[in-house]
A and B are shown apart, each in its own frame.
Chain A
């Protein structure tokens, strides 16, 4: 296991939350663990249903912030409906202002109905052209056409109006099941972007167990996403 020193000079914020395939949840959790990041706080959202979790005696909030050197992370263990997604996006913006964040990277999953054989692909969407080079240098295909809804859309909407550029990484994944395999592609890409070295063997060895362990979170996430989709997508009858 090798972890190279993190040497990116700008303050960068990495954001993960439950979405398609739980790609953001798996990949961001894995980075927090492997970079041995320290929890620096919690993100409070007044309208979020009160949920706390006790892990070996430690009380954890569902939305937490971590830090190591110039890298900051916000991770949510709960999916957001449309209203909470907007609140979450605004809370991230506040966090960025307080911590002099220069760019943010969001990790999410992209539903692929017909999964082809071979490795899933990863696509990038940037809010500011200043991040185009990041895509090019790391050989990330640009997300050119498609619709976005939910928490990703809420964050993009907020940050495209600010001077903090955002990059959303979309890994192709199964739309309805936890997909740790897709998360590995996201982890490898993140490692390149953040200039860190990450060994993915731990997650590779646990793919099956992670799929079982996260069934309930996946189900809860799908239900939340489908509620958002109904509100934002063109009704089927008009297609």
Chain B
């Protein structure tokens, strides 16, 4: 039987934490991506170590906020000290206003997928 700690990746982490984790409040910044399709925006958050019931998604007209509690503390050595992170949190500005009645969210395999239909605003052009 192997000890769980036996296996460790020897990879060099980037020198700068470009994701700006909040060490003081033990909050991790999750990876996210926004993809544009013809009729909708698809916004994804990578939320490993999280249960669906512990995710909170809120939004106003053009900003979305995602908060989630980890199902176990995640320890990481940053700036010499070990920090035990407990949460994910991120706010993102969206390229256009959200139609909150049509926005849907799914959580599978630690990935939160939010689908935001595009608002159709404008006038029809008559073709002669």
A residues contacting the other copy or chain, number (CB 8 A): 40
Is the beta-carbon distance between A1 and B12 smaller than 8 angstroms? no
In angstroms, Cα B8 to Cα A209, docked, is 11
Which residue from B12, B16, B30, B109 sits with its C-beta under 8 Å from A62? B12
In angstroms, Cα B8 to Cα A210, docked, is 10
In angstroms, Cα B4 to Cα A1, docked, is 12
Is the beta-carbon distance between A212 and B49 smaller than 8 angstroms? yes
Q: Do A53 and B7 contact each other (CB < 8 Å), given the known contacts A211-B46, A212-B74, A219-B19?
A: no
Q: Do A177 and B46 contact each other (CB < 8 Å), given the known contacts A205-B4, A219-B19?
A: yes
- Residue A35 CB within 8 A of the other chain: no
In angstroms, Cα B6 to Cα A209, docked, is 15
In angstroms, Cα B10 to Cα A210, docked, is 12
In angstroms, Cα B29 to Cα A30, docked, is 26
Q: Do A208 and B48 contact each other (CB < 8 Å), given the known contacts A32-B10, A219-B31?
A: yes
Is the beta-carbon distance between A208 and B11 smaller than 8 angstroms? no
Is the beta-carbon distance between B9 and A216 smaller than 8 angstroms? no
Q: Please, which residues of chain B bring their CB within 8 A of the CB of A210?
A: 9
Q: Which residues of chain B (47-104) have a CB below 8 Å from chain A?
A: 48-49, 74, 76
- Residue A231 CB within 8 A of the other chain: no
Q: Please, which residues of chain A bring their CB within 8 A of the CB of B49?
A: 208-209, 212
Q: Which label, helix, strand, loop or mixed, suits the secondary structure of the B interface?
A: loop
In angstroms, Cα B9 to Cα A55, docked, is 11
- Residue B118 CB within 8 A of the other chain: no
- Residue B17 CB within 8 A of the other chain: yes
In angstroms, Cα B74 to Cα A215, docked, is 13
Is the beta-carbon distance between A216 and B13 smaller than 8 angstroms? yes
Is the beta-carbon distance between A211 and B110 smaller than 8 angstroms? yes
In angstroms, Cα B74 to Cα A174, docked, is 23
Q: Please, which residues of chain B bring their CB within 8 A of the CB of A72?
A: none
Q: Please, which residues of chain A bring their CB within 8 A of the CB of B126?
A: none
Task: Select from chain B the residue with minimum beta-carbon distance to A1.
Answer: B2
Q: Do A60 and B19 contact each other (CB < 8 Å), given the known contacts A209-B74, A212-B48?
A: no
Q: Which residues of chain A (106-163) have a CB below 8 Å from chain B?
A: 113
- Residue A38 CB within 8 A of the other chain: no
Q: Please, which residues of chain B bring their CB within 8 A of the CB of A213?
A: 9, 13, 76
Binding site for B on A (CB under 8 A): 1, 25-26, 29-30, 32-34, 51, 53, 55, 60, 62, 77-78, 113, 174-178, 181, 202-203, 205-220
Show 8 A/B contacts (Cβ-Cβ < 8 Å), sorted by A.
A32-B10, A51-B15, A207-B48, A208-B49, A213-B13, A214-B11, A216-B18, A220-B18
Besides A55-B10, A177-B111, A215-B29, 11 more A-B contacts (Cβ < 8 Å) are: A33-B8, A53-B13, A113-B35, A176-B33, A213-B9, A215-B30, A215-B31, A216-B13, A216-B16, A216-B18, A219-B31
